[in-house]
A and B are shown apart, each in its own frame.
Chain A
């Protein structure tokens, strides 16, 4: 009886299962890793593992009671919530971040996108769509799938792009306190450059919190624009540049 109810109310079941998964991730993040790995990165990693264990082309959505995860995690709701995150940004904040923020976001995106695409090239991908999707995934785990869906990349390539973004988020979180001294990350201005260059909001916020909590808002300020700029530039300008050569 209970599975019937769960299948019949698939979207609600999806809310419940995602909530439980994030709760477990938060507990593990706090108790086991002592906040060294952000809850978000851990939850995404666990979700990818669930998809891996389920094994099918649609990951966990191939299990009947989980089928509506495909709606909750589908393109429509994802892009809708991504647009909604823009409400935390304002023109005043953009002006405050100013030229410095713009340059660092732009440089960070170009550098990350093309070196990420170069990594994909090393692994034998030769088509512009796959290269762009993996390059975009190297930016953040949002920009990757948004770019991949817009360009019509395969699910396999989109999954690689998400995984690359998750690896980046973890690398930024763990790496920031280690390199903070060396890159001079001890003032608001450098924190803004850092947020703009790296852009993965959860990693930046967690990394700065581990380095110096007072710097978090400055890094987060520029990082919030990174994903939006990435969603704008990766499937358009950057893809077209790749398209010239592949």
Chain B
């Protein structure tokens, strides 16, 4: 049943956030630390671990995959509700922060590639 997939996803999401809250209070920060990342790890473990993998039969994955495909539309909606006028007033920052780090990464790729090719 599709709802099992949605429920499993909801469980991973909530448990991940809960772990993020726990980590935050351990580090004495007033926020959620890596909760989304933990949720993703939980979901990956669920579908890779042989014991739980067999739960994911029939329509169960469809309950998860629908939401994973809704990710781009949600991101578009999220962009539409930002305080864009304030952000565009410092527009060069977004352009610089988007391009400069990308250029650094491009430059580093051949070095990393040669390291790995010689070590193998």
The residues of A with any CB-CB pair to B shorter than 8 Å are 14-15, 18-19, 21-22, 40, 43-44, 47-52, 55-61, 66, 69-70, 72-74, 77-92, 94, 100, 103-104, 107-108, 111-113, 115-116, 119-120, 122-123, 134-135, 137-138, 141-142, 145-146, 150-152, 154-156, 158-160, 162-168, 170-172, 175, 179, 182-185, 189-190, 193-194, 197-198, 228-229, 231-233, 235-236, 239-240
Contact = CB atoms under 8 A, between A and B. Distances in A.
Summarize B's interface: helix, strand, loop or mixed: helix
B58 interface: no
Interface in B62-89: 64-65, 67-68, 70-88
A72 B86 CA distance: 22
Given A51-B81, A167-B98, A236-B34, A155 B47 contact: no
A137 B48 CA distance: 30
Contact of A189 (B9, B95, B116): B116
Contact of A168 (B10, B67, B98): B98
Given A18-B73, A162-B78, A167-B94, A156 B37 contact: no
Contacts, number: 300
Contacts of B9: 80, 83-84
Interface string B31-44: 11111111111011
Given A193-B112, A240-B29, 13 more contacts: A21-B80, A58-B81, A61-B80, A80-B67, A112-B104, A137-B94, A137-B97, A141-B75, A158-B83, A197-B105, A232-B41, A235-B33, A236-B34
A3 to B, nearest CB: 18
A181 B18 CA distance: 46
Contacts of A82: 36, 40, 71
A235 B30 CA distance: 11
B83 A155 contact: yes
Contacts of A197: 105, 108-109, 112
A231 B40 contact: yes
A79 B71 contact: no
Interface string B82-120: 111111101111111111111011101110110011000
Contacts of B85: 51-52, 55
A235 B37 CA distance: 10
A113 to B, nearest CB: 8
A37 to B, nearest CB: 14
